[in-house]
């Protein structure tokens, strides 16, 4: 006869879809909320087995072979049967912050994986516990799961880090305000009394955003009714460098921007004008590990400045996440927008 513990673990089979966080514009407040930093890394679940440790991405892809330093540390720290949720990070000591690009290099190291692991060690920041050797913790409240996780990680080696958690809103706001310089993107907000819901929502993610001025160099859709904008900044050589793409514009924003984007780049006095960005936009320019298809777009004269909301994920002179268009800055010239470093 199957034991109760075995029945409890019946719905935990590698891989699983982890619990999802929904984006919000305000930090949820009130009794029963807990707050954790939102890390700039890869969501990762660790499955500790008798003979090995398996790592899976949010999409269920195995990545353990690329991170032997993490699998070794998890195996040395946790007993077989534990399933832990967390984030993979690589720390850039020169910049004193986490580095998404170094994380990508680790994942693509191939036969150089051991050398890359020594050069750029990875860390697993554990923030939730799905199972112990005896039972599934999916129905258990977060307060219980996190307390057990804290016990399991007592004395863990350097590659394994317990994620900070607080129920003090003032502390959480301080994290959101002071930690973005280290690569923290904001907060993940969770109910202390809520169970772990595989593949379903329930958590909230709050990204810290600041405003920036950017130059519109292209659009998807039509210039008269743009769907999204592609933005950039001039470098010291006077070349417009691509920095990112916006989230979809609202009807009101499309109507406001359309008349300002007078014409696409085509000709000037009968002479073709060479736009500085390729057509289509290369998939690699998005900065995403799960690369999308190349993006076809309409190139426009770089004459309009846009105020946008951006987050802390800015690396190699590009915003890795979509920016949010706020308004056109008719009062600014494109030459008022700060230059971007050639070697950023």
For residues 126 and 162, is the Cβ–Cβ distance under 8 A? yes
User: How do the domains of the chain map onto residue ranges?
Assistant: 17-207, 210-336
pLDDT of residue 283: 86
**CA 311/CA 45 separation, integer angstroms:** 25
**CA 229/CA 217 separation, integer angstroms:** 8
**CA 3/CA 159 separation, integer angstroms:** 35
CATH class of the 210-336 domain in this structure: mainly beta
**CA 196/CA 297 separation, integer angstroms:** 41
**CA 80/CA 157 separation, integer angstroms:** 17
Its pTM stands at: 0.78
Instruction: Give the helix ranges, DSSP H, for the chain.
Output: 4-8, 68-77, 100-107, 113-119, 142-152, 169-178, 251-257
**CA 128/CA 85 separation, integer angstroms:** 5
Find tokens 């929502």 and name the residue.
201
Residues 6+ apart with CB under 8 A from 25: 206
For residues 304 and 231, is the Cβ–Cβ distance under 8 A? no
pLDDT of residue 190: 98
- Closest C-alpha among 176, 55, 174, 180 to residue 122: 55
Half-sphere exposure for 321 (CA within 13 Å, toward CB): 15
Torsion of CA 316, 322, 326, 331, to 10 degrees: 30
Q: What is the pLDDT along the chain (344 residues), one digit of tens a residue?
A: 334 444 356 568 999 999 999 999 999 999 999 999 999 899 999 999 998 999 999 999 999 999 999 999 999 999 999 999 999 999 988 888 898 889 989 998 999 999 999 999 999 999 999 999 999 999 999 999 999 999 999 999 999 999 999 999 999 999 999 998 888 999 999 999 999 999 999 999 999 988 999 999 999 999 999 999 999 999 999 999 999 999 999 999 999 999 998 666 654 555 556 789 999 999 888 655 555 689 999 999 899 999 999 987 887 789 988 999 999 999 899 999 999 874 43
What is the fold, at CATH topology level, of the domain defined by 17-207?
Answer: D-amino Acid Aminotransferase; Chain A, domain 1 (3.30.470)
**CA 99/CA 54 separation, integer angstroms:** 23
Q: What is the DSSP string of 195-242?
A: ---TT---EEEEE--EEEEEEEEEEEEETTEEEEEEEEEEBTTS-EEE
pLDDT of residue 264: 61
Find tokens 């460098």 and name the residue.
241
CB atoms within 10 A of CB 28: 16
């Amino acid at each position: 006869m199957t034991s109760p513990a075995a029945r409890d673990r019946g719905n935990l089979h590698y891989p699983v879809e982890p619990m999802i966080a929904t984006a919000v514009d305000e930090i949820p407040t009130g009794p029963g909320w807990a707050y954790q930093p939102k890390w700039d890394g890869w969501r990762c679940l660790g499955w500790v087995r008798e003979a090995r440790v398996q790592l899976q991405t949010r999409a269920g892809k195995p990545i353990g072979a690329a991170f032997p330093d993490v699998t070794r540390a998890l195996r040395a720290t946790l007993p077989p049967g534990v399933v832990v949720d967390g984030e993979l990070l690589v720390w850039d000591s020169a910049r004193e912050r986490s580095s998404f690009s170094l994380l990508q290099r680790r994942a693509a190291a191939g036969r150089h994986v051991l050398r890359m692991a020594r050069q750029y060690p990875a860390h697993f920041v554990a923030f939730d516990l799905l199972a112990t050797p005896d039972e599934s913790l999916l129905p258990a409240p977060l307060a219980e799961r996190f307390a057990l996780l804290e016990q399991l990680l007592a004395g863990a080696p350097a590659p394994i880090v317990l994620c900070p958690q607080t129920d003090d809103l003032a502390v959480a706001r301080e994290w959101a305000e002071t930690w973005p310089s280290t690569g923290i993107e904001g907060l993940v907000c969770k109910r202390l009394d809520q169970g772990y819901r595989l593949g379903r929502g329930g958590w909230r993610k709050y990204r810290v955003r600041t405003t920036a001025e950017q130059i519109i160099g292209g659009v998807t859709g039509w210039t008269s009714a743009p769907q999204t904008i592609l933005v950039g900044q001039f470098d010291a050589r006077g070349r417009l460098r691509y920095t990112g793409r916006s989230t979809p514009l609202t009807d009101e924003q499309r109507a406001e921007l359309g008349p300002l984007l007078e014409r696409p780049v085509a000709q000037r006095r009968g002479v073709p004008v060479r736009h500085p960005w390729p057509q289509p936009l290369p998939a690699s320019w998005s900065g995403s590990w799960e690369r999308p298809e190349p993006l076809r777009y309409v190139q426009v004269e770089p004459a309009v400045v846009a105020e946008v909301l951006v987050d802390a994920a800015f690396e190699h002179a590009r915003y890795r996440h979509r920016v949010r268009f706020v308004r056109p800055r008719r009062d600014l010239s494109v030459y008022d927008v700060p230059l971007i470093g050639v070697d950023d």
